[in-house]
């Protein structure tokens, strides 16, 4: 084996290497620098960002709905309490009026 290469061998290796690098470049970034794997990764990242925003929006809506439900249930309990209190007060007033009626009738 010789320590030296001929010009033809050197040019063949350089040409082969250049062809292989062009193939790799086209696979990674495409012919217009926007396609290939790099473009696919960029598209995937955009879709993931959109999905993240959608998930966050859904989570925000769920939290808001939980707050609304809690507030509604609290107001419902307050109304039930107030209505119960009003009913008890009305019944007590009727009972007292009935007692006074009976006392007056006995006198």
Q: What pLDDT digit, counting tens, does each position of 54-92 carry?
A: 999 999 999 999 999 898 888 888 888 888 788 888 888
Summarize the chain as % helix, strand, coil (round to 5): 90, 0, 10
Residue 16 has pLDDT above 90, yes or no: yes
Is residue 15 a part of any domain in this protein?
A: no
| Domain assignment present for 47 | yes
* Residue ranges making up the domain that contains 54: 35-106
Per the domain annotation, does 22 fall within a domain? Answer: no
pTM score, whole prediction: 0.43
Residue range 32-42: average pLDDT?
Answer: 77
CA torsion, points 19, 21, 26, 27, in degrees to nearest 10?
Answer: 120
Residue 5 CB contacts under 8 Å (≥ 6 apart), including other chains: 13
In a domain, 30, yes or no: no
Q: Report yes or no on 23 lying in a domain.
A: no
Domain membership of residue 17 (yes or no) is no
83: left (phi over 0), alpha (psi -120 to 50) or beta: alpha
In a domain, 92, yes or no: yes
* Total domains present in the chain: 1
In a domain, 13, yes or no: no
């Amino acid at each position: 084996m010789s320590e030296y290469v001929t010009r033809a061998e050197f040019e063949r290796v350089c040409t082969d290497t250049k062809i292989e690098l062009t193939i790799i470049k086209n696979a990674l970034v495409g012919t217009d620098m926007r396609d290939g794997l790099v473009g696919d990764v960029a598209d995937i990242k955009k879709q993931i960002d959109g999905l993240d925003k959608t998930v966050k929006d859904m989570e925000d809506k769920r939290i808001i709905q939980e707050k609304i439900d809690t507030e509604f249930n609290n107001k419902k309990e307050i109304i039930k309490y107030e209505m119960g209190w009003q009913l008890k007060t009305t019944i007590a007033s009727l009972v007292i009026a009935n007692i006074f009626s009976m006392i007056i009738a006995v006198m």
